């Protein structure tokens, strides 16, 4: 085999990855903190966020659909969008991208890589990001001094219309009785509005401890929310569910996720054709997402030389290698995933999928960031 470039020649990790300075929180997207402006710069600053984000097909479709809905009055665009993929599959990342998009993607140099710049909303957009992880049905979530909410609809009212909006649903919030669709529609104020529901299974786990049987009110809330959104041409609702392709949950909140799925499915019957399903990251895009997040530079031309040399080696030794080694698809796989080995990705995406605590992309990033740091620190001669 010729003297080939090593990964140390062809790839340059991001400074934080190479130095080992990455922290777990850099891979833990928190939607609520982004909206409140308290998230790490990795997620809070649009220019940094999109620099490290790969424009997957699902993400581009999501941004296009929501921006059209908010800036062009909807038309034939779906008003309700469900992001579905397994645990850690990029759902929250997609919602954060939406927050930045509806606020104009300030400071982002490559807007067109993600969405048509003419579709970005130009005026005020009301945004409510309801994150079940941060909800507190027992003690109340502090909204401002002297004001707490205990339900998702209480928080929704405040995020969209402030303290006055909360007063409109205060009785519903304290008694944990879902408000009706007309009441929710009042909170939109006739303005472009984006509503996001994330981690609802966590909310259901908590609220059931305080209000046994609360799933029924959650279902009533979702039903009313869908109706309110459908009746408002410049309002979009995006919600997430951590389920696989067969609509089955496998994570630690399996029971609650399936309960939420049933409630959403019932509400979707009302929405009929005005709903859409998107997957933020398809399987064939995982390598691109990881590469963008881990490396500042990957020399794909040099990678072609390396791959070609390996193909020659495989062909010269075809009699002693498995049949897969000489298949045309093998070369394509190596090209698509470089510098990551295809079987490494296969192991991370398929064999870890049965682990309820392994958060797919997030888990892969944590593991691979440590691996890259150690490789660049030790420079093994056979890399």
Answer yes or no: is 100 within a domain: yes
Answer yes or no: is 122 within a domain: yes
- Checking if the pLDDT of 294 tops 70, the result is yes
Same domain for 111 and 246? yes
Give the per-residue pLDDT at 176: 94
Per-residue pLDDT averaged across 288-303, rounded? 88
User: Which residues span the domain enclosing 18?
Assistant: 7-23+284-378
Same domain for 138 and 257? yes
- Checking if the pLDDT of 244 tops 60, the result is no
Using a pLDDT cut of 90, give the percent of the chain over it: 45
- d(C-alpha 19, C-alpha 17), whole Å: 6
Per-residue pLDDT averaged across 330-350, rounded? 84
pTM value is: 0.82
Res. 89 pLDDT band, cuts 50 70 90: low
CA nearest 359: which of 17, 27, 25, 51?
Answer: 27
Same domain for 272 and 325? no
Assign 3-class secondary structure to the chain. CCCCCCHHHHEEECHHHHHCCCCHHHHCCCHHHHHHCCCCHHHHCHHHHHHCCCCCHHHHHHHHHHHHHHHCCCCCCCCEEEEEECCCCCHHHHHHHHHHHHCCCCCCCCHHHCCCHHHCCCCCCEEEEEEHHHCCCCCCEEEECCEEECCHHHHHHHHHHHHHHHHHHHHHHHHCCCCCHHHHHHCCCCCCEEEEEECHHHHHHHHHHHCCCCHHHHHHHHHHHHHHHHCCCCEEEEEEEECCCCCCCCCCCHHHHHHHHHHHHHHHHHHHHHEEEECCCCHHHHHHHHHHHHEEEECHHHHHHHHHHHHHHHHHCHHHCCHHHHCHHHHHHHHHHCCCCHHHHHHHHHHCCCCCCCCHHHHHHHHHHHHHHHHHHHCCCCC
Let me know: does 217 contact 176? Beta carbons within 8 Å: yes
Per-residue pLDDT averaged across 334-359, rounded? 74
CA 141 vs. chain centroid, Å, equals: 24
Cα distances (Å, whole numbers) of residue 108 to 92, 162, 297: 20, 29, 19
Same domain for 268 and 300? no
Answer yes or no: is 190 within a domain: yes
Same domain for 115 and 244? yes
Answer yes or no: is 116 within a domain: yes
Let me know: does 235 contact 247? Beta carbons within 8 Å: no
Per-residue pLDDT averaged across 202-225, rounded? 91
Give the per-residue pLDDT at 64: 93
Q: What is the pLDDT of residues 269-291, one digit of tens each?
A: 876 656 777 777 777 788 888 88
- Checking if the pLDDT of 87 tops 50, the result is no
- Checking if the pLDDT of 312 tops 80, the result is yes
Phi first, then psi: give them for residue 297, nearest 5 degrees. Answer: -145, 135
Pairing of strands 126-131, 141-144: unpaired
In the predicted model, what is the mean pLDDT of the chain? Answer: 86
Residues comprising the chain, all counted = 383
Answer yes or no: is 30 within a domain: no
- d(C-alpha 173, C-alpha 137), whole Å: 10
- d(C-alpha 370, C-alpha 349), whole Å: 18
Same domain for 229 and 136? yes
Into how many domains does the chain fold? 2
Angle at which helices 300-316 and 328-337 cross, to 10° = 150
Let me know: does 211 contact 137? Beta carbons within 8 Å: yes
Pairing of strands 126-131, 193-198: parallel
- d(C-alpha 278, C-alpha 188), whole Å: 25
Same domain for 113 and 243? yes
Q: What is the pLDDT of residues 4-37, one digit of tens each?
A: 788 999 999 988 888 887 776 566 678 888 988 8
Q: Tell which wins on pLDDT, 251 or 204.
A: 204
- d(C-alpha 66, C-alpha 61), whole Å: 9
Same domain for 230 and 330? no
Q: Which residue, 240, 256, 280, sits at the end of a domain? A: 280
- d(C-alpha 209, C-alpha 202), whole Å: 12
Q: What is the pLDDT of residues 128-176, one digit of tens each?
A: 999 898 899 999 999 999 999 999 999 999 999 999 999 999 999 999 9
Same domain for 86 and 112? yes
Answer yes or no: is 34 within a domain: no
Same domain for 149 and 190? yes
Tokens read off for 236: 């979009």
Q: Which residue, 225, 255, 280, sits at the end of a domain? A: 280
Same domain for 191 and 315? no
Q: Which residue, 230, 255, 280, sits at the end of a domain? A: 280
Give the per-residue pLDDT at 235: 95
Same domain for 75 and 205? yes
Answer yes or no: is 50 within a domain: no
Q: What is the pLDDT of residues 246-264, one digit of tens each?
A: 555 556 678 888 888 888 8
Answer yes or no: is 36 within a domain: no
């Amino acid at each position: 085999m010729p003297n080939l470039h090593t990964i140390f020649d062809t790839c340059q990790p991001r400074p934080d990855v190479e130095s080992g300075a990455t922290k777990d929180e850099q891979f833990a997207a928190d939607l609520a903190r982004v909206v409140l402006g308290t998230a790490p710069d990795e997620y809070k600053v649009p220019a940094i966020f999109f620099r490290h984000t790969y424009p997957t097909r699902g993400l581009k479709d999501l941004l296009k659909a929501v921006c059209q809905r908010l800036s062009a009055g909807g038309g034939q665009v779906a008003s309700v969008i469900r992001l579905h993929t397994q645990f850690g599959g990029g759902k929250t990342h997609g919602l954060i991208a939406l927050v930045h998009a509806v606020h104009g993607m300030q400071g982002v140099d490559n807007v067109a890589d993600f969405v048509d710049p003419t579709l970005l909303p130009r005026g005020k957009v009301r945004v409510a990001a309801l994150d079940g992880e941060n909800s507190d049905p027992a003690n109340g979530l502090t909204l401002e001094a002297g004001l707490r909410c205990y339900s998702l609809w209480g928080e929704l009212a405040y995020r969209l219309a402030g303290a006055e909006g909360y007063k409109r649903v205060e009785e519903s919030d304290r008694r944990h009785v879902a408000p009706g669709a007309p009441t929710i529609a009042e909170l939109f104020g006739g303005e472009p509005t984006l509503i996001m529901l994330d981690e609802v299974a966590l909310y259901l786990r908590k609220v059931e401890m305080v209000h046994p049987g609360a799933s029924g009110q959650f279902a009533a809330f979702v039903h009313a929310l869908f109706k309110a959104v459908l009746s408002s041409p410049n309002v979009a609702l995006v919600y997430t569910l951590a389920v696989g392709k067969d609509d089955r949950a496998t994570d630690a909140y399996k029971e609650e996720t399936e309960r939420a799925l049933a409630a959403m499915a019932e509400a979707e019957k009302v929405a009929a054709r005005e709903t859409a399903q998107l997957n933020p990251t398809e399987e064939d895009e995982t390598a691109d997402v990881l590469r963008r997040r881990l490396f500042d530079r990957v020399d794909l031309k040099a990678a072609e030389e390396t791959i070609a040399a390996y193909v020659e080696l495989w062909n010269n030794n075809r009699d002693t290698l498995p049949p897969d080694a000489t298949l045309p698809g093998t070369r394509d796989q190596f090209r698509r995933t470089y510098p990551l080995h295809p079987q490494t990705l296969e192991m991370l995406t398929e064999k870890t999928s049965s682990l309820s605590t392994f958060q797919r992309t997030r888990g892969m990033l944590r593991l691979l960031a440590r691996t890259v740091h150690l490789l660049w620190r030790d420079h093994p001669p056979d890399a």
